[in-house]
C-alpha cells in the first residue's frame, strides 16, 4: 500500500527511490536484520545516487529540491519499507548528523565532514543522550571546558546511532553543568581524536541493522573551529531545532515499516487458506486489514503535513511532535494487528511480521518517547 502526498516533485522522487528499495534493499533486508551491522556498501551506493543530500540546497552539495523535507521524509519512508534498521542509519546521516553542520558549521567543517558525508565517504552521528540523561536532555553531564585554542570534552554518550562507525559526531555538551539547558553547546568531534573511544556496541532486538553505541570522551580536544554555536546559550536551541525537524523523519520511518507489514499481511491473507477458503475472505481478517490501512493513512498524512509545513518555513513544533506521536503509535498498532493475520507463522523468524513488530518500537522512542511528544505538545498548547 502507499499513501501519496499531493506534491508532484515528491511523488516522482518516491518512484525513483522505491525502485532502488525493491531491487537493492528488499532482497537483503532479512539478512541484514540478522547480521545487525551497519551497511557501508549500500550506504555508499545510495549516496552515489545523490539521496543522502536530499535535505540540502545545491550550494552546500545537496540535491537542491523544492520540497526537501517532504522528499527526505519520503526517502526515509521508502527505505524503511525495505529495512527500518538501514533507514534509521541513513536518516541520521542525511539529517541530524549533517544538518547541524549544514546549518551552523563553517566552510572548513562543511568541506571536511558535510560533503564527504553526502558522498557516503564519511559517516556521521549526533549524540545528546547520556546514560543518566535521556528525556531530560537538559541535565546532561558531558562537560566542555575552555582551553587554549578550543575545548576539552569529558563524559559519555548513550544510544548513539551510527556510533561505532562514525567518522564525526556532533556532540552536545555543557559548558557549565550548573546552568542546565542554557549552557549546552554543540561540537563536531572527529572520531580519530585522542581520548575518543566506543564504549560498547549495543545489541538490540529492534532496528538491528542500525548501529547503536555507547561512546566515551576522555579529555578529547576539540579545536575552536569545531564548535557549532559561538554564543553561549544558542547550542540547546539549535540542538532542539535539529531534533524537532528530525521527528518528521522518524514518523516517516514508522510509516514505511507499517506499509511493509500491511503488504506482507495482505499477501498472506490471500495465500493462506483455512476452512476451504483464503483467510482474507473472513470478515474479521478484512476488518483488521482495513484498520491497518486506516492507521497507516492517518500516520502518513500527519507526516506529510508536518513536512510540507517545514518546507514552507512554518513553525512545526506541534506538528512534528504530533506526527511522530501519531505515526509511532498507529504504526505500532498496525504492525501488531498485521502479526495476528499470520497466526502461528507470525512468530517464525522466516516470516517478516516479527521484524516489523520489533522495529515498530523504535519510532516511539528515538528522538523522544511518545510521552515526551505529549509533553512538548502540552507545553505548546499552554497547558
Ligand atoms: C535505537 C535507538 C537509537 C537512538 N539514537 C540516538 C542518537 O542517535 N542520538 C541520541 O542522542 N540519542 C539516541 N537515542 C536515545 C533516545 O532519544 C532516548 O532513548 C529517548 O529520548 C528516551 O530516553 P531514555 O531512553 O533515557 O528514557 P528515560 O528518559 O529514562 O524515560 C523512561 C520512561 O520515563 C518516561 N518519562 C521520562 N520523563 C518523563 C516526563 N517528564 N513525563 C512523562 N514521562 C516521562 C519516558 O517517556 C519513558 O517512558 C536512541 C535510542 C534508541 C533506543
Per residue in 113-138, pLDDT (tens digit) is: 999 999 999 999 999 999 999 999 88
For ligand 1, whether the C-beta of 375 sits within 6 Å is yes
pLDDT recorded at residue 377: 98
Atom of ligand 1 nearest to the CA of 172: 11
The per-residue pLDDT for 231 is 61
Report, as an integer, the average pLDDT of 10-38. Answer: 96
SS3 376: helix
Instruction: Give the pLDDT of residue 33.
Output: 93
pLDDT score of 310: 98
For residue 230, the model assigns a pLDDT of 60
* Per-residue pLDDT at 277 exceeds 90: yes
Nearest protein Cα to ligand 1, atom 34: 135
Going from the Cα of 372 to the center of ligand 1, the distance in angstroms, rounded, reads 9
374 CA to middle of ligand 1, Å? 14
pLDDT class of 41 with cuts at 50, 70, 90:
very high
User: What Å distances lie between residue 341 and 165, 298, 338, CA to CA?
Assistant: 38, 21, 5
Banded pLDDT at 177 (limits 50, 70, 90): confident
pLDDT, averaged across the chain: 96
- What the block records as the C-alpha cell of 183 is 549552557
Show the domains of the chain with their CATH numbers. Answer: 8-118 (1.10.540.10), 124-233 (2.40.110.10), 236-380 (1.20.140.10)
- Nearest atom of ligand 1 to the alpha carbon of 163: 8
Quickly state the pLDDT bin for 233 (edges 50, 70, 90).
Answer: low
pLDDT at residue 232 is higher than 60: no
321 in contact with ligand 1, CB cutoff 6 A = no
**Ligand 1 centroid to 325 CA: how many Å?**
14
Residue nearest to atom 20 of ligand 1 (CA): 368
At 212 the pLDDT is: 98
Given a cut of 80, is residue 356 above it in pLDDT?
yes
Q: Give the residue-averaged pLDDT of 300-323.
A: 98
**Grid cell of 206 as nine digits:** 529492534
Q: Please give the distance, rounded to the nearest whole angstrom, from the Cα atom of residue 95 to the centre of ligand 1.
A: 19
Separation of first and last alpha carbons in the chain = 38
Position 357 scores a pLDDT of: 98
Query: Cα(135) to centroid of ligand 1, in Å?
Result: 5
Ligand 1 centroid to 353 CA: how many Å? 25
Q: Which atom of ligand 1 is nearest to the CA of 375?
A: 42
Report the percentage of the chain scoring pLDDT > 90. 94
C-alpha cell at 213: 553505541
Looking at ligand 1, which atom is closest to the CA of residue 206? 1
In this prediction, residue 179 carries a pLDDT of 85
- Phi-psi label, residue 320: left if phi above 0, alpha if psi -120 to 50, beta otherwise: alpha
Calculate the CA 58 to chain-centre distance: 23
Over the stretch 180-207, which tens digit does the pLDDT of each residue have?
888 999 999 999 999 999 999 999 999 9
Query: What DSSP state is assigned to residue 227?
Result: B
More confident residue, 300 or 177: 300
User: Is residue 229 pLDDT above 90, yes or no?
Assistant: no
How far apart, in whole angstroms, are the C-alpha atoms of residue 87 and residue 93? 10
Residue 180: the pLDDT is 84
Amino acid at each position: 500500500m502507499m499513501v501519496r502526498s499531493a506534491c508532484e516533485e515528491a511523488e516522482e522522487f518516491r518512484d525513483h527511490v522505491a525502485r532502488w528499495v525493491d531491487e537493492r534493499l528488499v532482497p537483503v533486508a532479512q539478512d541484514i536484520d540478522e547480521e545487525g551491522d551497519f551497511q557501508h556498501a549500500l550506504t555508499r551506493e545510495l549516496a552515489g545516487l545523490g539521496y543522502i543530500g536530499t535535505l540540502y540546497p545545491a550550494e552546500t552539495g545537496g540535491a537542491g529540491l523544492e520540497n526537501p523535507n517532504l522528499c527526505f521524509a519520503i526517502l526515509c519512508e521508502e527505505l524503511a519499507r525495505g529495512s527500518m534498521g538501514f533507514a534509521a542509519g541513513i536518516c541520521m546521516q542525511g539529517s541530524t548528523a549533517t544538518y547541524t553542520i549544514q546549518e551552523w558549521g563553517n566552510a572548513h567543517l562543511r568541506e571536511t565532514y558535510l560533503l564527504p558525508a553526502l558522498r557516503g565517504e564519511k559517516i556521521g552521528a549526533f549524540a545528546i543522550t547520556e546514560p543518566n540523561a535521556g528525556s531530560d536532555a537538559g541535565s546532561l553531564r558531558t562537560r566542555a571546558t575552555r582551553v587554549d585554542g578550543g575545548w576539552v570534552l569529558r563524559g559519555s554518550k548513550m544510544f548513539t546511532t551510527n556510533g561505532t562507525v562514525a567518522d564525526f559526531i556532533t556532540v552536545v555538551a555543557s559548558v557549565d553543568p550548573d546552568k542546565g539547558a542554557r549552557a549546552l553547546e554543540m561540537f563536531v568531534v572527529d572520531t580519530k581524536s585522542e581520548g575518543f573511544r566506543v564504549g560498547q556496541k549495543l545489541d538490540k532486538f529492534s532496528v538491528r541493522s542500525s548501529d547503536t553505541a555507547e561512546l566515551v570522551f576522555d579529555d578529547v580536544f576539540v579545536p575552536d573551529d569545531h564548535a557549532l554555536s559561538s554564543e553561549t546559550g544558542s547550542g540547546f536551541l539549535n540542538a532542539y531545532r535539529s531534533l524537532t525537524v528530525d521527528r518528521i523523519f522518524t514518523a516517516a520511518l514508522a510509516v514505511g515499516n507499517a506499509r511493509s507489514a500491511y503488504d506482507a499481511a495482505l499477501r498472506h491473507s490471500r495465500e493462506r487458506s483455512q476452512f476451504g477458503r483464503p483467510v482474507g475472505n473472513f470478515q474479521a481478517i478484512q476488518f483488521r486489514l482495513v484498520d491497518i490501512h486506516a492507521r497507516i493513512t492517518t500516520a502518513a498524512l500527519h507526516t506529510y503535513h508536518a513536512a510540507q509545513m517545514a518546507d514552507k518555513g512554518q513553525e512545526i513544533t506541534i506538528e512534528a511532535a504530533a506526527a511522530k506521536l501519531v505515526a509511532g503509535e498507529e504504526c505500532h498498532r498496525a504492525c501488531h494487528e498485521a502479526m495476528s493475520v499470520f497466526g502461528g507463522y507470525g512468530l517464525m523468524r522466516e516470516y517478516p511480521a516479527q521484524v516489523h513488530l520489533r522495529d515498530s518500537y523504535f519510532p516511539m522512542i528515538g528522538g523522544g518517547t511518545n510521552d515526551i511528544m505529549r509533553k512538548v505538545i502540552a507545553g505548546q498548547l499552554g497547558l
